[in-house]
Amino acid sequence: MSAPRILHIFSTFAPAGPELRAVSLIHALGDSYQHAIIAIDGCTDAANMLPEREDVRVLEAPPRAGTMKTVRRLRAIIRAESPDLVCTYNWGALDGAMAAVGCKVPVLHHEDGFNMDEAKRFKRRRIWWRRRLLPLTHRVIVPSVRLEKLATELWKLRPEKIQRIPNGIDPTHFEAADGNAALRDELGIPQSTCLIGFMGHLRPVKNAARLLEAAAPLAEEHDLHLLILGDGEERATLEALANSSPLKGKVHFSGHLQDPRAHLRAMDIFALSSDSEQHPIALLEAMACSLPVATTRVGDVEHILGKRQHPFISPLETGAKGLQSTLRELIKDESLRRRLGSLNAQRVSEEFTHEAMTEQHAQLWRAGVESMT
């Protein structure tokens, strides 16, 4: 008997949080399932991270059109693929959920957060569509307490329709940050400097510009450099901003890294400057490397970090100055950084493991497939 078939429909298959989590689940669950992947915008940059197996395929996206034309084209693909389960990811793939429901295929719909267009205010049309369509899915999967609350209060879903599964990583794959002298030499970063790191897709909602604005005055007070991991539409703007401030020559852009562990080891502080997050995997990876964190108050970061870390979480309304204040305190106190980093590593090992996350997703995949029989 062949393994069940899962069709994954993404708005984009760029190497970001939901996409990387799906890749890790496909690896972890081996040949128990066959997988096909569609990126509606045609971007498949994360495909090179998939396992090289004949039963893991990336399909050509249908031409983009109006909603109902896209739905009809996706229905044709679903009928041709005959999947046992369809997984859809975020608002941009809701056409896929509509198509699968129309084909009477069970849907696991994932909601992982919002881009800049909904970072501060939700669009009524999207609320209406979610209220209408999401009750027809098998389950709606969210990673954060905040999204779970939104799903019940704003989208009016019954609690039993929602499954909260926090993101997780394998902490044994990460080593404690030790400065990574060899990498610092390679990148031209002095061994003695305090290195502040950032990791994420360089798009407006991640607001790496806020970090540069916060760090510029600090560069005049302290010996510091910045290491930016990630790529995206904002990169050129950020490079220009870095070159026109006191940070000139002190900001290092490494692009997207399939394995960022060596670069995380080189850091002294990890900064998260986003306007919107839910349960960021980059934060978990930095914590697993025993890094202290300065972050904006977004999504579930307060829960992820724990109460001891709350003084280093700045409200969004404080802007760059709030982040600057927390960074300043961490820069000047190395012993504080070590204590907080140790607490972070312990918390990831106890609360946010890849094993626990994988098992919960696997249970839903099994239940979704079984609902067809």
Mean pLDDT over 317-323 rounds to 94
pLDDT at res. 114? 75
pLDDT at 53 (0 to 100): 92
Tens digit of each residue's pLDDT (9 = 90 or more) over 254-305: 998 989 999 999 999 999 999 988 889 999 999 999 999 999 999 899 999 9
Report pLDDT digits (tens) over 219-236: 999 999 999 999 989 999
Look up the CATH number of domain 171-351.
3.40.50.2000
Same fold, 5-168+353-370 and 171-351: yes
Confidence of residue 65 (pLDDT cuts 50, 70, 90): low
Output the pLDDT for position 201: 87
Given a contact cutoff of 8 angstroms between Cβ atoms, the answer to whether 70 and 95 are in contact is yes
Residues listed for the chain: 373
pLDDT at 208: 95
Residue 311: CB atoms within 10 A of its CB come to 11
Given this model, what pLDDT does residue 151 score? Answer: 95
pLDDT exceeds cutoff 90 at 39: yes
What pLDDT was estimated at residue 61? 87
Spatial strand order of the sheet with 162-164 comes to 56-58, 34-39, 5-10, 85-89, 107-110, 139-142, 162-164
Asked whether 224 and 196 are in contact (CB, 8 A), the reply is: yes
pLDDT per residue as tens digits for the range 151-193: 999 999 999 999 999 999 999 999 999 999 999 999 999 999 9
CATH number among 3.40.50.2000, 3.40.630.30, 3.30.450.20, 3.40.50.300, domain 5-168+353-370: 3.40.50.2000
At 117, the pLDDT band (50, 70, 90 cuts) reads low
Q: Buried b vs exposed e over 258-293: b needs ≥16 C-beta within 10 Å?
A: eebeebbbbbbbbbbbbbbbbbbbbbbbbbbbbbbb
Where do the structural domains in the chain lie, given as residue ranges? Answer: 5-168+353-370, 171-351
**Residue 373: its pLDDT value, please?**
64
Q: Is residue 253 predicted with pLDDT exceeding 80?
A: yes
Q: Calculate the average pLDDT of the chain.
A: 92
Per residue in 130-153, pLDDT (tens digit) is: 999 999 999 999 999 989 999 999
